[in-house]
Amino acid sequence: KPAEELIADLKALGVMDKEAEAQVKKWKTLCYVSIAVACCSMCLCAAQGVFMYIAFVILAGGIGFAIWAHSKKKQFEKDDFPDHRYLTCDRLVSLLSADIESGSTIDTTINLRDATTNSAGVETGKTGQSTWNSINTADQFLQLSGRFIDGTKFDFGLTEKVDAYGEHFPYRARSGKTKTKLKARKRIQWLATLRLRYKDKRYPDVPKAVAKIEEMIQLPEGAKLKKIDAKDGEISLV
């Protein structure tokens, strides 16, 4: 799609996401409230006469409403996406559009599903009396391809790497009771790749000027340039 249309779609996606977040929060709250009401009504179930029947009606209604509210929450969670993914895409497309001809298209692939929410990727184990969970994912969530005004073709990709580990281990408190403690860590890294393809006659000296190109590159705070490869007609950065 052209950059202008793509940005408009991303803005609309952001609005839908925020609406879904609000709905998830609302139905989650209603679910908890109905569970609390059902629990309170259980105290009245021991009563006699009409109060007992009223308590049972409230209990059944509370449980039924809690199940319905939970299903509604799950329904809206499908449209509740990680904000940083579409916001990053929006920002990058806005920057790229300054060096792209008006109406020129940008091929875009964006994955809005967080890989860490997939329980199938979780590893579990036991060490002594401790139990642990671990998940390691590498999810390429964004790909952008297009052509700059000077004819240079670009292919850009962003991969989110997550390394998370949690361990539950027992310990003896001062009171003498055995309790369980959680030790957890989580590290998130982004890996960006950029491939530029150009005509040799336009930039014939690029392969000889890798060191100078490396000095000219401006990276966000905390980012590091791992590798830069240049050959005739192509340059790649990681």
Measured between alpha carbons, how far is 195 from 65 in angstroms, rounded to an integer? 53
Q: Average per-residue pLDDT in the chain?
A: 81
Max Cα separation, the chain?
A: 95
- Which pTM does this prediction carry? 0.75
Which letter does DSSP use for residue 2 in this model? B
Is the pLDDT at 71 greater than 80? The verdict is: yes
pLDDT, tens digit, 9 for 90 and up, residues 94-125: 888 888 888 888 898 888 887 666 555 677 77
Residue 187: CB atoms within 10 Å: 10
Q: What is the model's pLDDT at position 102? A: 81
Helix %, strand %, coil % of the chain (to 5): 45, 30, 25
Pick the more confident residue, 205 or 106: 106
Which pLDDT does position 157 carry in this prediction? 92
First to last CA, the chain: 26
CA distance 187 to 162: 6
Please tell me the distance from the alpha carbon of residue 94 to that of residue 108, in angstroms, as a whole number. Answer: 13
Residue 169's H or E segment, with its range, is strand 153-172
The answer to whether the Cα torsion of 61, 66, 69, 71 is positive or negative is: negative
Phi first, then psi, for residue 201 (nearest 5°) are: -70, -20
